[in-house]
């Protein structure tokens, strides 16, 4: 079966071409770069909201893109269970669109931070983590100024197993030092109740080829391999 993915190009997105490169050249699946006003969900098995500074992050990161017609289209996909991944600014758009709960606040350092971190996989039963092991430690970079996850309903997230990734040290310990932005409970990524929509601040597309990783890993690839697996299971 053929799988077809859309990467939405919002004005000001800047990781769109990186996601296209990985999906086409590393994973090897059919992928379209789609201008946000032109996006039609019916043609696609899954959608990726890439990182960047949509609409300059003016007003609030992700808020203007959350009102794009592309989000109405994506909402159809959300409801019928197709996979949706929001990376960095894409995560901010997903919380602003209320596809996912909580909010992303300014980093506690008040500075933009770009570095490789470790993530611990808390839930491997989602559209983008089914090829990972639970408690696995991933190498992956972050690059954001507003990535401090906050929710007033942490308990519910925990009970529903919606916390997918936490910032950890390389041994997998969830420590304050390993938390790069002050996120509540070291949360780096979450999913919806149905497990088909994930948002995370780190960049899997920057961690999908050994040449880019300080440890020669390709953990980012697992996100996209999982997505393909999820689509196959869903449609078979």
Partner 1 sequence: MTKVKLNGEDINIEMTKDEFEAVKELLKKEPNVTELGMFDVMWSEHCSYKSSRPKLKLFEDAEKNYDYVLAGPGQDAGVIDIGDGYVLAFRIESHNHPSAIEPYHGAATGIGGIIRDILCMGVRPIALLDPLRFGCLKDNSHSQWLFKYVVKGIADYGNCTGIPTIGGEVEFDDSFESNCLVNVACIGLGTKEDFQHAPSKAYNPGDYVILMGGSTGRDGIHGVTFASRTLTEMSEADRPAVQIGDPFIKKMIIEATLEAVKTGYVRGLKDLGGGGLTCATSELTGSGDTGADVDLRKVITREPGMNSYEIMLSESQERMAFIVKPEGLETVLDVFRKYEMSFAVIGRTDGSKVLKVYDGDTLVVSIPSKALSESPTFKREEKRPKYLDKLLLEKIPKRILSLDEIIYKLIASENICSKEWVYRQYDHEVGVRSVIKCGEGDSGVLRIIGTNKFIAASVGVNSKHCFLDPYEGSKGGLVEQCGNIISHGAKPIAMVNCCNFGNPEIPESFWYFSKSIDGMNDFCRDLRIPIVGGNVSFYNEDEVKKTAIKATPVIMIVGLIIGQENIITLPFKEEGNEILIIGETYAELGGSEYHSVIYDMEGGIPPKVNEREIKKRWDYIFELYRNNYIKSNHDVDKGGFVITIAEMCFKHNLGARLNIKDYNSNRLKDDELLFSESVGRFIIEIKPADHDEIMNLAEKFGVYVKQLGTIIDSPELIISGFQSKDIKLDLSKMKSLYDSTLPNMMDI
- Could you say whether residue 188 binds partner 1 (CB under 8 A)? no
Q: Which is nearer to partner 1, 87 or 197 (CB)?
A: 87
Q: Is 12 helix (H, G, I), strand (E, B) or coil?
A: coil
8 close to 23: Cβ distance less than 8 angstroms? no
Q: Is 146 in the site for partner 1 (CB under 8 A)?
A: no
Contact 44, 3 (CB under 8 A): no
Residue in 63, 136, 143, 154 binding partner 1, rule: CB under 8 A? 143
Q: Does 18 sit near partner 1 (CB under 8 A)?
A: yes
Task: Verify binding: residue 211, partner 1, rule CB under 8 A.
Answer: yes
User: Long-range CB contacts (< 8 A, 24+ apart) of 66-72?
Assistant: 66/93, 66/96, 66/97, 68/10, 68/36, 68/37, 69/36, 69/37, 69/39, 70/8, 70/10, 70/34, 70/36, 70/37, 70/39, 71/97
Among 115, 155, 159, 176, binds partner 1 (CB under 8 A): 115
- The catalytic residue positions are 88, 203, 205
Interface with partner 1 (CB under 8 A), residue from 3, 6, 15, 77: 15
**Restricting to residues 21-60, which ones interact with partner 1 according to CB under 8 A?**
21-22, 25, 35, 51-53, 55-58
Q: Could you tell me the smallest distance in angstroms from the CB atom of residue 155 to partner 1?
A: 33
Question: What phi, psi does 109 have (nearest 5°)?
Answer: -75, -10
Residues 6+ apart with CB under 8 A from 159: none
Q: How far is the CB of 9 from partner 1 (least distance, A)?
A: 8
> Smallest distance from the beta carbon of 209 to partner 1, in angstroms?
8
Q: Which residues contact 41 (CB under 8 A, 6 or more apart)?
A: 47, 73, 74, 76, 77, 82
Q: Report the interface residues with partner 1, using CB under 8 A.
A: 11-12, 14-15, 17-18, 21-22, 25, 35, 51-53, 55-58, 111-115, 141, 143, 145, 203, 205-206, 209, 211-212, 214
């Amino acid at each position: 079966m053929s799988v077809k993915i859309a990467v939405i190009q919002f004005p000001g997105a800047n990781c769109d071409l990186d996601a296209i490169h990985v999906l086409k050249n590393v994973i090897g699946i059919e992928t379209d770069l789609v201008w946000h006003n032109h996006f039609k969900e019916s043609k696609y098995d899954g959608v990726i909201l890439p990182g960047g500074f949509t609409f300059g992050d003016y007003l609030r990161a992700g808020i203007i893109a959350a009102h794009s017609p592309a989000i109405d289209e994506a909402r159809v996909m959300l409801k019928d269970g197709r996979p949706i991944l929001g990376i960095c600014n894409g995560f901010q758009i997903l919380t602003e669109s209320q596809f996912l709960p909580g909010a992303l606040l300014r980093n506690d350092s008040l500075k933009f931070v770009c570095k490789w971190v470790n993530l611990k996989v808390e839930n491997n039963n989602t559209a983008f983590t089914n090829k990972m092991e639970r408690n696995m430690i991933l190498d992956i970079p972050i690059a954001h100024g507003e990535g401090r996850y906050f929710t007033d309903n942490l308990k519910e997230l925990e009970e529903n197993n919606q916390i997918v990734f936490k910032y950890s040290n390389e041994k997998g310990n969830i420590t304050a030092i390993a938390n790069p932005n002050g996120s509540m409970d070291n949360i780096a990524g979450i999913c919806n109740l149905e497990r088909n929509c994930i948002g995370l601040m780190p960049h899997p597309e920057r961690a999908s080829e050994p040449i880019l990783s300080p440890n020669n890993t390709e953990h980012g690839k697992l996100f996209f391999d999982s997505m393909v697996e999820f689509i196959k299971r869903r449609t078979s």
